[in-house]
Amino acid sequence: MNKRFSFLSPHPKEISGLLEPAILKRLQKEKRGQGFGKDYKPFLTVRDVPSRGRVHRRPALTHNRVAHLLSDLELAAFLLFDWQATVNDIREQFPLNPEVTTEIAKRLGIKHPSYRGVLQVMTTDLLVDFQVNGQHSCQAVSVKYADDLEDERTIEKLELERRYWEGEGIPWYIFTEHEVPVTSLKNVRWLAPHMHSYDLSDAERVQVFERISQALDASGEEKLAVPLKELDTIFNLSLGAHLQYFRHLAAQNAFQWDIHNQLHTNLKARDISISEYWLAKDIEYVHA
């Protein structure tokens, strides 16, 4: 990558004088925006900023790290990349070098993002790494709702972001809700609300995961609901209890299927694959 990614050393005085100590701490001491895979630390987390709609913390198939996603649309975009076999890393809330973005803003005559006179570090929602036929490539993705693109100030900030990545030689594009395939979107909407529907202990998590896994393995061509209903009867639980457990664990990445092409209403037991991380008990469970 371009050496300008390495901006976490102390900034020149004209930059550091405009940044709050808390922001510099994130960039330097906490090493936000550094690392790859499971070691990466996003510059912003769900606790750092207000968000439009729900925020999500979700374990990733790609690296088994809990990703911090600031809207339902970011979650949808993240899942689309996370399910692609050619993707080998996704870094969310990636900070842009403020030295570079301030230079670009001056050159274009655009006001750089700031709050009460304090320079703000710009971020890109997703930085996605691909590996295809032994060749590495990278894409920067800004996730925005389509109606936000009607705002002139939003367009200015997106232009700063676009110019930044152009300078890095990395393709950049905008992802809106119109880029989400219908089937994928329906599946995401079915899963996402159940991310925090339970807060299972380690023992409960293992028990529920193992009995659903065994039931699915023994059911083959049965529709997904059939073995789950049987579990409700066996364990004397209310009808639909194990379907709710399934949705919760699938949202937590324990169970997967081809969300792009198979709608959840049509799933059979054989369509479900089980996370290798969960099988190896090397999981990142997100507590409510």
Q: What is the pLDDT of residue 209?
A: 96
User: 138: which strand partners?
Assistant: 129
List, for the chain, all residue ranges whose pLDDT scores fall below the cut of 50.
1-15, 17
Give pLDDT tens digits for 167-198.
Answer: 999 999 999 999 888 898 788 778 877 877 89
**What's the pLDDT score for residue 94?**
95
The DSSP-derived string for the chain is --GGG---SPPPHHHHTTS-HHHHHHHTTS-TT---GGG---SS-TTTS--SS--EEEE-TTT--EEEE-SHHHHHHHHHHHT-TTEEEEEEEEEP-HHHHHHHHHHHT-PPPEETTEEPPPEEEEEEEEEETTEEEEEEEEE--GGGGG-HHHHHHHHHHHHHHHHHT--EEEE-GGGS-HHHHHHHHHHGGGTTS----HHHHHHHHHHHHHHHHTTTTSBTHHHHHHHHHHTT--TTHHHHHHHHHHHTTSEE--TTT--GGG-BGGG-EE-HHHHTT-------
- Confirm whether 286 is domain-assigned: no
Please identify, among 179, 206, 225, the residue that sits at the C-terminal boundary of a domain: 179
For residues 240 and 269, membership in a common domain is answered with yes
Give the model's pLDDT for residue 104. 96
Q: What is the pLDDT of residue 51?
A: 52
Q: Tell me how many domains the chain contains.
A: 2
What integer pLDDT is reported at residue 217 of this predicted model? 95
What is the model's pLDDT at position 14?
47
Please report the pLDDT score of residue 50 as a whole number. 61
273 lies in which domain range?
182-279
Are 218 and 175 within one domain?
no
Does 31 share its domain with 118?
yes
Per-residue pLDDT reduced to its tens digit, 45-71: 887 766 555 788 888 878 888 999 988
The pLDDT of residue 281 is: 85
Q: What is the CATH number of the domain that holds 7?
A: 3.40.1350.10
Looking at the structure, do residues 119 and 241 belong to the same domain, yes or no? no
pLDDT in the model for residue 59: 82
Question: Residue 137's beta-bridge partner residues?
Answer: 130
Does one domain contain both 200 and 81?
A: no
Same domain, 75 and 97: yes
Query: Which residue among 158, 179, 200 closes a domain?
Result: 179
